[in-house]
Structure 1
Amino acid sequence: MLDLRQDLSGLWQAAARVPPRSGGRVLMFMAAREGEGTSSMAASFALMASARAARMTWLIDLDLRANPLYTAFAKGILKDTGRPGHALDASLGTEQIYSVPGTEAVPAMQKLLTAHQIDGQRLLVTRFRNERLAPGQRVRLQPAPGWWGALRRSCDWAILDAPALARSAAGLTFAPMTDGVVLVVEAGATGAGDVEDLRAAVEGAGGTVIGAVMNQMKSGHRPRQTG
């Protein structure tokens, strides 16, 4: 994971002009394929938001089974950032964005999502407690509008890091809950057809694509934004 904050000023200005439905803004980063730098973009943007916002910024990892963002912060992969603190309940007292079939009547299973404040910053990073699942238990994602409404009331920004569409449809589940989706494209690797297919999938699911960011880090260049 790379720190791209210095390269995302243009995206920040564009995203800050997107009107939120109510309360805080919800922005999603998503790519067509794996390895395009989505997590670096999402984490860097969330750090920018946390430095500018008056209230807490949330960085929500939609890869519930792997928790790569929490792991990256815990390992100190991003320089000059703190480590995640103790677990806070991220259930927000409402319906959840996930379900574990067969455990609907078990209260503890409604609090598997936690949030951890990054030391020294107004930033919360989520983590899903996979260790509480029994072998073979499955997790299903669900839109849960009540959860997103409660989230908006608690923050100025919520940044979502969605798994690549080629691996998971998680981003499409939550695209309608966001104010905008930013497509992440690896320069020289992702074809125009893949980008258009991703755009069509997001818009077909009810999301709004506000632009694309071309990640050129592997070629030695900096990311750039496209319309």
Structure 2
Amino acid sequence: MRDLRLDLTNLWRSAARVTSPQGGRLIMFVSARSGEGCSSIAASFALMAAAKSSRSAWLIDLDFRRNPLYRAFEDGFSKKIGGPGRAFDASLNEPPIYALTPPPPDGSDGNKLLTVHQIEGTRLLVTRFRNERLRPAQKVQLRTQPRWWAALRASADWGVIDAPALERSAAALAVASQMDGVVLVVRADKTSVSDVAAMRLEVEGHGGKVIGVVMNRVRADARFADRLIG
């Protein structure tokens, strides 16, 4: 993962125009295939959002089993940014945005497995799913849960969501309708305009609003290209 904040000025200007009648804004990043740099874009954008927030910005990793964003900050995502601090409960006093199969034997919904960690020296909070608490063969799956997203809007200025690539997970489609905007991340040297159009249709078919496209790895940078979806 790379810190791409210097390349995302145009994206920030576009996303900052997105409004939410319910409080904080929710922006999701998703790619069609793995390896297109989506997590780098999401983490970089989240740092920009945190720097401009009066309350906080949450960076929400929907890849529960791997927690790549938490691990990236733990490993020093940016030389100028500290690591994650202590764990806090991320349930927001609402039913969780995930379901466990089989459910816990005590009949609970396991709503203490998602934590959030403040990144040192910033207003950014990054989620981590506590896989170590799962029982053998127990699986976790994302669920829509509008009440949790509403609670996040009430507590933070921004929610920046990094979704797994569509080729390996439908997580982005499951929560697209809860977002104020969805940004598609594509590799400029591998993804055609028709591929972008197909991905847009899929996201919008699930209630999402695509606000732009980030073309990653254009001369080793990332560029915002809203003209591709106009």
| Residue in 2 that maps onto 1:182 | 183
- How far 1:195 moved relative to its partner? 1.4
Which runs of 5 or more residues in structure 2 are unaligned? none
Whether the 8 Å contact between 2:51 and 2:123 is mirrored in structure 1 is: yes
Give the 3-state SS of the residue equivalent to 1:127 in structure 2.
strand
- How far 1:222 moved relative to its partner? 4.3
CA gap 1:135/1:4 in 2 versus in 1, 3 angstroms: same
**What letter matches 1:16 in structure 2?**
A
TM-score by length of 1: 0.95
Whether the 8 Å contact between 2:99 and 2:109 is mirrored in structure 1 is: no
Q: Percent identity?
A: 56
- The 1-side partners of 2:80 and 2:107 are apart by 40
Give the 3-state SS of the residue equivalent to 1:3 in structure 2.
coil
- How far 1:107 moved relative to its partner? 4.3
- How far 1:52 moved relative to its partner? 0.7
Give the 3-state SS of the residue equivalent to 1:206 in structure 2.
coil
**What letter matches 1:171 in structure 2?**
A
**What letter matches 1:93 in structure 2?**
N
Matches within 5 A, 1:74-153: 74-101=74-101, 102-103=103-104, 105-107=106-108, 109-153=110-154
**What letter matches 1:226 in structure 2?**
D
- The 2-side partners of 1:104 and 1:207 are apart by 36
Whether the 8 Å contact between 1:116 and 1:125 is mirrored in structure 2 is: yes
Matched length: 226
- The 1-side partners of 2:40 and 2:3 are apart by 6
- How far 1:26 moved relative to its partner? 0.2
- The 2-side partners of 1:173 and 1:105 are apart by 27
- The 2-side partners of 1:53 and 1:190 are apart by 33
CA RMSD of aligned residues (A): 1.4
**What letter matches 2:175 in structure 1?**
F
- The 1-side partners of 2:221 and 2:45 are apart by 18
**What letter matches 1:20 in structure 2?**
S
Whether the 8 Å contact between 2:203 and 2:210 is mirrored in structure 1 is: yes
TM-score by length of 2: 0.94
Which runs of 5 or more residues in structure 1 are unaligned? none
- How far 1:224 moved relative to its partner? 3.4
- The 2-side partners of 1:176 and 1:105 are apart by 32
- The 1-side partners of 2:111 and 2:158 are apart by 24
